[in-house]
Structure formats: C-alpha cells, structure tokens
C-alpha cells in the first residue's frame, strides 16, 4: 500500500526553532528552524512514503475567527527570527519537489484532514497538535512529535485509547467540554480534563450528554446547563473541516527521494553541513541546465527538418508534437478546438511518418503510448530508445512517469525535446555502467512492441454470458440481502460499516474480536468469525458477490468495443520486481480461488472458430529457489521429477514420501512458499492455524533439511546490505535502502525484499523473454498472443495451428534459460478461458 505523509508545517518549524541552537546560512539569515524541520522530514523517509505534502497556516482569518473573534486570541506573534525562516522553508520544500499546501480561510489542520480523508492508502499525519487525533481511522495514524525534533509517538485508535482514554471522535467531544487553552476554545466553564473525560466515556457525544442532562446532578448539572451554548460553539471550533475545496490529491504530491543535486546545493547555501555530507540523500544529476523552449513550426517544415536527421527526440502530448534537430527544439502545435478536431493530429503524424518508419534513431518517452497515437494514423514506430523505460530499469524508485519531473531530477529544465535529448545522453551512460544494457535492449525494449500488439489484438468477451452471470449474481445478492435482513430482524444498509457494526456487535451481541471502543467491519474482523455466526457468513458472501458483480461484470461492460473485444493496458513500468500489471480492465486479477470467481473466466472466449491455449509455468519461483540456492535436496527432487511439496512434507515431518498425507502436503506447500516470501513464525502460524511455537519448529526443521536455502537467503540479505541492491538472474536491479534504516520494521521489510526479489524478479524476466520468443515464432501465423498473467501465457489459436502453438509455447517457455533444474509448463486448451485449466 502506497504511503502518504502530510506534515503540519507550522507545528514542526515552531518545535524546531525552540529545540535547536542558533544557526545562520551563508547569507547570515537564521536557518536553525529550517534545519530542524528538514532533519525531521528526512527521518520520516523510514516510513517509505510515495507521497508527501506540507500544510501551512496563512495570516488571513479563518472561518473559526469569524465565528468566534477570540479564537486563538491569546497566541503570541511569531518571533522575528522564526518569521524570516518561513519563506526559506517553503522555497526549500519546493526545490525538494515536496508539495506546499495553504489556503486562505482554512487552517493547516483542515488542509491535512481533507487530504488525509480523501486518500485511500496508509496516511501518517506528522504534527505536535493533538487536534489531529480526531482524524485517526483504519488508514490514518498520527505521528506526534515528542522530545526534541526527531522523536515521535505513533498513535492509532488503540494507542489513543491507552494514553488519553478517548476515541478519535471523542477528542472533539472532550474539547467541547474542557476547551483548549492554546487555541482559546472556551469549552464549558468549570469543567476540567478529568470531568470531561468521564463524561465522554459515559455518554459518548455532546448531544447524548445534553439528552441525558437530568441524570447529571449538583454543580456539574448547573455548569453544563449554563455552558451549553459555549459547549456547542467549542464543538464547532474544535472540529476539523475535511471538505476543504480545491486542494491537490495526495496522488498529485509524489515524493522524489533521494533528492536531486540542486537540493544539496541549497543545503550548502543554508549551511546544513552535516546533511550535505550524507550522500544517500542525493540522487545526483549536477547543476540545473536551463534549455531553450521549442520553436513553433508547420507540418511541412517539421517534415523537411526530420528528413535528414539521423536521430531525434519525439514526444507527443496534448499541446503538440515535439522534436529537436541539431540541438534546436521544435513543436508542431495541435489545436484543441472541436472544428479542427483530429486535423492537426493527422498533420503531425504525416510530418514524422518517413522518419518514424525509417532507420533514424527515435528518442521517445513512453514508446507504447506514442506507438498507439501513431498507429491510429497509419504510422508505425521503429528503431527507438525509450527514456522512461530506461529510467524505470535503472531505478524504479525515481519518478519516471513525468518527463518534466524526470528532467528536473537530473537538472534539465526548459524545452521538452531538448530535455528528452539530454536525458537520453545521461541515461545511456548510466545504463552501460549498470551492466543492464542487455536487459534493456534484448528484453524490455522489444517487449514494448509485443505488449502493444497484444493490447491492439484484444480479448473476446461473450456478452451473452456476461448478461447471464450479471443476472445470476444479481439474484444471489438479492437473496443474501433478504436472508441478512431476516437474521438481523430489520432492514439496514449492508454496505454501511457503521450500520453493519451496529447490527452485528450491538444489536445481535456478536463478540467483537478485539479490545476496542469502536467497531470495524473490515475483513480482518469478520473473517475470524466465519463459520461461527451465520449472519457473518452471509455478509461475507454478499460482499464477495457484490464485488464480483460491480468490478468484474458491471465494470467490464463499458470497456467492450463494438467488435466484442476488451483491450487491457499492460503496465510495463510499474512494479519494482519487473512484473507486468494490467489495467482497464485488469485481466490479471480475475479471482480463481473460489468457484464463483473462476466462473468469470467463462466470459473470455476465442475469436470465431479459434480456441484458447494457456501455458502456465509449474512452481516457477520454487524452481528458481532450487537454481539460485543450489540446495542439493531441492535440486535432486526437481531433476527426479518428484512432487516438491510431498518431498518437503517428508523432510519436515520425518516420514517416507509414501506416508505423506494430503494434509501434510498442503501444510508443506504453505511452508515452501512462506519460506521464499520471508514469512515469519507468526505469519506461518496464522496460515496453518497452529501456534507460533509449532510454526517455528517447522521452519527450523525445513532449514535443517534444506541448508542451501538457508545459506542462500542469508547471503542475499548480506549482499544487498553491502551493495545496496539485489539482482535477478538477468541482472535486473532493485535497490534496498531499507536495509540501512534505523527503523526495525523498515529493516525487516528490506530483508524480505532482498530474499524475495531475485525469485519474483527472475520469474518476471523469464516470462518476458518467453513472450518475446513466442511472439517471434507466431509472427508468420494466424494465432496471436493475447494475454500474460504473471506465469501464464494465453494464445488465441487458429484450429489448424493448435498443435504447432502448443509446441511453440512449451519449447519457448521451458527453454527460455538454462537452469540447474528443468522448467515445466502445463498446457490447457478450450473455447473459453475457463476450459483451459
């Protein structure tokens, strides 16, 4: 899950200012608060954020000041030595490519709350203000600054309850009663911390307190009655607004780390000597080079310029087609009017046709997208170098999806085609130095064309079956809903977590499996209750079918073209292991673990009189473990054609293979795959439903029998720690900075990455190489490769080519590389994808 960190800028810079001794930059302006802030920010990299934003207050009054003129009236003005550092910090953050977010009429808390609540992934709020505790939920945690500038306390619901005896919503109710001296929120006069906490604990909400005011006696009753208006005003002041309009999404605040060299230059100016020396903070790239913008030309002029070019950058975006010849950038503008829709695109395509299809080297950014645009106008693209693909291979952690951002990362800004040319010159040298030239030129680059052809070919959908399944699941969902209502004794919104929790845990009194004052209905809560409560079973089945229908049936329908085909998009530059992913629709994620999920494969059929042929690697990652580790027992088992799971079961249970039961084999299978994924004792115990002690014994016995595997995994981690990266058998690198983290969880994550990436990444490389080989062998045939699902390839096959295609798939996949153990492929055939297994 991608992590978003949003920082309370005012809170952190204030803490840093008072925590550190004076420090001046080279211009003699104070910088100690900025230094402290940046030190804290760098410490946060241990959480491996993908996105980051810093929110600031503005001087303009907010809606709270307008509601209550004494709001924050007791706050002292910012010291001059701190005030002068605010613009320095904001400027530095922008140089670091970190989003600075501020908005008149709203406080940083409101900005933070809105951005956090509108992001679906894991979010950490970094602040020294306890108001943010009200934002905590299943995906939001608060990192509360403590002593100094680098120590934080991590708060989720449980930690909040343990330390303050409050729920997230209870924070607002508490402040409504006790007030907040720092913000000058009045609360109820005479009600202190202890009383406020007890009232919230007993009654939950302010409304409930006043609904039961007659139960409360004595002076407290009098205080609450007299202070009711103040309480509700305080409630309004204390509530963070999570609907601030016109804010950037977290996904638009992508973090680039390590930082560009221009950040190091700014650190030097600010006199941050210790940070300048930390090489791991910087990605390199030299000084910023301003490049001239492009000159607008006509299609005829662009065509004549390209005729004599031996190489040229080409990029096509919504504003025009860009290129450069002899160090000068040009753009053919594309009009965005309805009257001229498409006309300028045709001119653009014609202007580059001769060059695009000729021998000259095309330097492009995202070749597959450019190939699609050109293909629409009858133009092909040959002999190209994809800069984005090269950067992905060199270091996928660097943001490679935006040409402008990638150029800035390396210090090139300005004209688009010249930035592209500079990046090519820079990256081609790094590619050679990395030893990944063969991987790029022989695997990733040719794969782009294979994927383009697969996307263009598409996969046939049986629309009649789609209607049938949609009706069937719709009826089953309605029946489940009726059963659930009957068991609950009333109707309610099953899709509402709040209403569902009320039914299950309050009305039906189902024991909640965790110690908590608030109820969740997530899978992690309901799954352990499966089999014990009929209504829970029905709810889980309802959710599963509803997801199938909405995502895979209703969601698929609008993606079918007029020929009954869906054209998935393969994402070649997304995963850190090299695996492909599939989107719109995601055909790699069709459920296969349940009968209902498997039925969805009936939707996908061969064209006309064709059949589908599926070829799937058998236990590819375990075979790779045998190859990479050289473990004699494992290698021997595969060479002799033994069932590896039965062999493992015999080893860890100390029995003959003939004595291995189906249950033993199932458990051994979980152990086999658990080991290669770095599963802990606890994780294995959960998967096998045994005690951690028993799981530890299984792992110990496994490593005693397969000592080569133990040595290989240990060596992988140690090598990654020394070199900073791990490699696949084809030389693909994945950097593992987490191994050097001071955070234990980050280091453990790094160790799992070091152990697993050579296996998963090598499997990805092998299937990619097989795809290229299969595509080449099919090039003169009617049959077409149409889908890759991790370790499986599917070919839409002509009837008279069935045996030939089977032979091609087996030959290309099993002989893709020479390993210590044989690669095995299982082949299936049928009119429908469902029939291929």
- Grouping H, G, I as helix, E, B as strand and the rest as coil, residue 57 is coil
Residue range 155-190, pLDDT digits in tens: 998 888 888 888 898 889 888 888 887 777 888 888
Distance (Å, rounded) from C-alpha 763 to C-alpha 620? 7
- What local confidence, expressed as pLDDT, does residue 343 receive? 57
Q: What percent of the chain has pLDDT over 70?
A: 97
Average pLDDT (631-649) is 90
pLDDT higher at 130 or 461: 461
Distances (CA, A) of 435 to 393, 520, 730, 806: 11, 50, 10, 35
- Grouping H, G, I as helix, E, B as strand and the rest as coil, residue 407 is helix
Q: Residues near 632 by Cβ (< 8 Å), separated by ≥ 6?
A: 708
540 confidence band (pLDDT: 50, 70, 90): very high
Average pLDDT (550-569) is 91
Please determine, for residue 650, whether its predicted confidence score (pLDDT) is greater than 70. Answer: yes
Please determine, for residue 225, whether its predicted confidence score (pLDDT) is greater than 50. Answer: yes
pLDDT higher at 328 or 515: 328
pLDDT higher at 837 or 26: 26
Long-range contact list for 145-152, CB < 8 A, 24+ apart? 145/11, 145/12, 145/15, 145/40, 148/19, 149/12, 149/15, 149/16, 149/19, 149/20, 149/36, 149/37, 149/39, 149/40, 150/39, 150/40, 150/43, 152/126
- What local confidence, expressed as pLDDT, does residue 147 receive? 66
> Per DSSP, which regions of 594-728 are E strands?
604-605, 611-617, 725-727
User: To 5 degrees, how large is the angle CA 203–CA 205–CA 210?
Assistant: 75
Q: What are 446's two structure tokens?
A: 């040719």
- Contact at 8 Å (CB) between 565 and 458? yes
Distance (Å, rounded) from C-alpha 190 to C-alpha 202? 19
679 confidence band (pLDDT: 50, 70, 90): confident
- Which range in 35-39, 596-600, 644-648 is most confidently predicted, on average pLDDT? 35-39
- What local confidence, expressed as pLDDT, does residue 460 receive? 96
**Torsion, Cα of 537, 540, 545, 548 (10° steps):** -150
285 confidence band (pLDDT: 50, 70, 90): very low
- What local confidence, expressed as pLDDT, does residue 340 receive? 44
Please determine, for residue 705, whether its predicted confidence score (pLDDT) is greater than 80. Answer: yes
**Of 122-131, 253-262, 304-313, minimum mean pLDDT range:** 253-262
Mean pLDDT of the residues in the chain: 88
- Which range in 78-92, 603-617, 644-658, 693-707 is most confidently predicted, on average pLDDT? 603-617
- Contact at 8 Å (CB) between 588 and 484? no
Average pLDDT (594-609) is 87
pLDDT higher at 72 or 225: 225
Q: Residues near 304 by Cβ (< 8 Å), separated by ≥ 6?
A: none
- Contact at 8 Å (CB) between 833 and 797? no
- Which range in 149-163, 262-276, 382-396, 649-663 is most confidently predicted, on average pLDDT? 382-396
**Alpha-carbon torsion (780, 782, 786, 789), positive or negative:** negative
Q: Residues near 774 by Cβ (< 8 Å), separated by ≥ 6?
A: 785, 793, 795, 808, 809, 812, 813
The position carrying tokens 């000729």 is 358
Helix (H) or strand (E) holding 800: none
- What local confidence, expressed as pLDDT, does residue 338 receive? 37
Residue range 471-483, pLDDT digits in tens: 999 999 999 999 9
- What local confidence, expressed as pLDDT, does residue 73 receive? 64
Longest dimension (CA), the chain: 95
Average pLDDT (718-746) is 88
Average pLDDT (560-579) is 92
Please determine, for residue 52, whether its predicted confidence score (pLDDT) is greater than 70. Answer: yes
Please determine, for residue 130, whether its predicted confidence score (pLDDT) is greater than 90. Answer: no
Please determine, for residue 191, whether its predicted confidence score (pLDDT) is greater than 80. Answer: yes
Q: What is the 3-state secondary structure (H, E, C) of 535-587?
A: HHHHHHHHHHHHHHHHHHHHCCHHHCCCCCEECCEEECCCCCCCCCEEECCCH
pTM: 0.67
How far is residue 276 CA from its own chain's centroid?
30
Average pLDDT (126-140) is 91
Which is it for strands 289-291 and 412-414: parallel, antiparallel or unpaired? parallel
Burial of 199 (0-12, 13-18, 19+ CB in 10 A): buried
Distance (Å, rounded) from C-alpha 553 to C-alpha 88? 53
Residue range 685-699, pLDDT digits in tens: 777 777 888 888 888
**Of 270-279, 335-344, 558-567, 678-687, minimum mean pLDDT range:** 335-344
The position carrying tokens 């951002």 is 405
Q: Residues near 818 by Cβ (< 8 Å), separated by ≥ 6?
A: none
Q: What is the chain's Cα-based Rg?
A: 31
339 confidence band (pLDDT: 50, 70, 90): very low
pLDDT higher at 125 or 647: 125
- Closest Cα to residue 166, out of 124, 139, 138, 199? 199
Q: Residues near 499 by Cβ (< 8 Å), separated by ≥ 6?
A: 492, 493
- Which range in 362-366, 735-739, 750-754 is most confidently predicted, on average pLDDT? 362-366
Q: How many CB atoms lie within 10 A of CB 147?
A: 9
Phi then psi for residue 583, to 5 deg, are -140, 155
- What local confidence, expressed as pLDDT, does residue 368 receive? 96
Distance (Å, rounded) from C-alpha 141 to C-alpha 164? 15
- Closest Cα to residue 706, out of 665, 621, 657, 649? 649
- What local confidence, expressed as pLDDT, does residue 22 receive? 85
The DSSP code sequence of 232-283 is: HHHHHHHSPPS--SSPPPGGGSB---SEEHHHHHHHHHTT-HHHHT-GGGEE
- What local confidence, expressed as pLDDT, does residue 487 receive? 94
- Which range in 127-136, 382-391, 400-409, 643-652 is most confidently predicted, on average pLDDT? 382-391
Q: What percent of the chain has pLDDT over 90?
A: 46
Please determine, for residue 30, whether its predicted confidence score (pLDDT) is greater than 80. Answer: yes
Burial of 406 (0-12, 13-18, 19+ CB in 10 A): buried
């Amino acid at each position: 899950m991608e992590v978003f960190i949003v920082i309370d800028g005012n809170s952190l810079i204030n803490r840093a200012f008072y925590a550190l001794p004076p420090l001046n930059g080279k211009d003699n302006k104070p910088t100690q608060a900025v230094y402290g802030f940046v030190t804290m920010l760098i410490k946060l990299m241990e959480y491996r954020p993908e996105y980051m934003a810093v929110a600031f207050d503005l001087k303009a009054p907010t809606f709270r000041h307008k509601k209550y003129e004494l709001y924050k009236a007791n706050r002292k003005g910012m010291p001059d030595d701190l005030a002068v550092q605010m613009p320095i910090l904001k400027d530095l953050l922008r140089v670091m490519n970190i989003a600075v977010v501020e908005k008149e009429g709203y406080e940083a808390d409101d900005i933070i709350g809105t951005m956090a609540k509108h992001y679906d992934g894991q979010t950490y709020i970094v602040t020294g203000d306890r108001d943010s505790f009200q934002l905590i939920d299943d995906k939001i945690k608060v990192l509360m600054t403590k002593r100094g500038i680098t120590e934080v306390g991590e708060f989720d619901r449980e930690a909040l309850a343990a330390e303050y005896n409050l729920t997230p919503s209870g924070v607002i109710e508490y402040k409504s009663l006790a007030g907040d001296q720092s913000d000058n929120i009045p609360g109820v006069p005479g009600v202190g911390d202890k009383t406020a906490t007890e009232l919230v604990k007993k009654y939950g909400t302010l409304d409930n307190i006043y609904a039961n005011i007659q139960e409360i006696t004595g002076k407290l009753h009098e205080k609450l009655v007299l202070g009711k208006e103040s309480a509700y005003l305080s409630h309004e002041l204390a509530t963070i607004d999570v609907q601030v309009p016109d804010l950037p999404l977290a996904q638009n605040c992508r973090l680039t780390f390590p930082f560009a060299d221009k950040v190091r230059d700014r650190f030097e100016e600010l006199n941050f000597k210790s940070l300048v020396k930390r090489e791991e903070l910087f990605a390199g790239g030299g000084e910023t080079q301003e490049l001239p913008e492009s000159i607008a030309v006509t299609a005829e002029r662009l065509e004549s310029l390209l005729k004599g070019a031996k190489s040229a950058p080409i990029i096509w975006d919504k504003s025009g087609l860009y290129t450069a010849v002899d160090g000068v950038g040009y753009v053919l503008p594309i009009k965005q009017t309805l009257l001229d829709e498409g006309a300028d695109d045709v001119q653009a395509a014609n202007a580059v046709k001769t060059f695009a299809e000729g021998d000259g080297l095309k330097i492009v950014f995202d070749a597959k997208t450019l190939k699609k645009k050109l293909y629409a106008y009858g133009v092909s693209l040959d002999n190209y170098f994809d800069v984005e693909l090269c950067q992905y291979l060199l270091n996928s952690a660097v943001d490679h999806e935006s040409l402008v951002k990638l150029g800035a990362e390396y210090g090139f800004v300005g004209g688009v085609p010249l930035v592209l040319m500079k990046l090519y010159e820079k990256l081609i040298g790094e590619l050679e130095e990395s030893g990944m030239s063969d991987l790029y030129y022989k695997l990733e680059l040719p794969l782009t064309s294979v994927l383009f052809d697969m996307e263009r070919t598409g996969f046939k959908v049986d629309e009649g079956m789609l209607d049938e399944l949609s009706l069937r699941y719709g009826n089953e969902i309605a029946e489940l809903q009726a059963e659930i209502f009957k068991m609950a004794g009333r109707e309610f919104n099953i899709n509402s977590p709040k209403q569902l929790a009320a039914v299950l845990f309050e009305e039906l009194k189902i024991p909640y499996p965790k110690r908590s004052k608030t109820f969740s209905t997530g899978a992690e809560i309901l799954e352990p209750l499966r089999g014990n409560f009929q209504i829970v079973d029905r709810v889980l089945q309802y959710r599963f079918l509803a997801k199938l229908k909405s995502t895979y049936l209703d969601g698929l329908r609008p993606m079918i073209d007029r020929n009954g085909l869906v054209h998935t998009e393969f994402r070649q530059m997304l995963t850190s292991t090299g695996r492909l992913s599939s989107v719109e629709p995601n055909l790699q994620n069709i459920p296969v673990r349940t009968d209902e999920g498997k039925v969805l494969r009936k939707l996908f059929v061969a064209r006309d009189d064709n059949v589908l042929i599926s070829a799937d690697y058998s236990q590819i990652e375990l075979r790779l473990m045998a190859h990479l580790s050289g473990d004699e027992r494992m290698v021997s088992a595969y060479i002799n054609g033994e069932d590896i799971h039965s062999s493992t079961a015999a080893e860890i249970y100390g029995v003959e293979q003939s004595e291995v039961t189906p249950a033993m084999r199932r458990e051994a299978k979980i152990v086999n795959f658990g080991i290669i994924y770095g599963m802990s004792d606890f994780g294995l115990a959960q998967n096998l439903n045994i005690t951690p002690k028993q799981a530890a014994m299984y792992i110990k016995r496994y490593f005693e029998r397969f000592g080569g595997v133990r040595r290989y995994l240990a060596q992988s981690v140690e090598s990654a720690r020394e070199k900073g990266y791990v490699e696949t058998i084809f030389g693909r690198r994945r950097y593992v900075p987490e191994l050097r983290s001071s955070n234990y969880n980050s280091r453990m994550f790094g160790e799992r990455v070091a152990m697993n990436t050579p296996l998963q990444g090598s499997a990805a490389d092998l299937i990619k190489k097989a795809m290229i080989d299969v595509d080449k062998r099919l090039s003169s045939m009617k049959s077409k490769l149409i889908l890759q699902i991790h370790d499986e390839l599917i070919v839409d096959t002509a009837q008279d080519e069935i045996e030939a295609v089977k032979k091609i798939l087996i030959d290309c996949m099993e002989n893709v590389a020479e390993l210590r153990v044989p690669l095995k492929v299982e082949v299936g055939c049928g009119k429908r994808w469902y029939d291929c297994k």
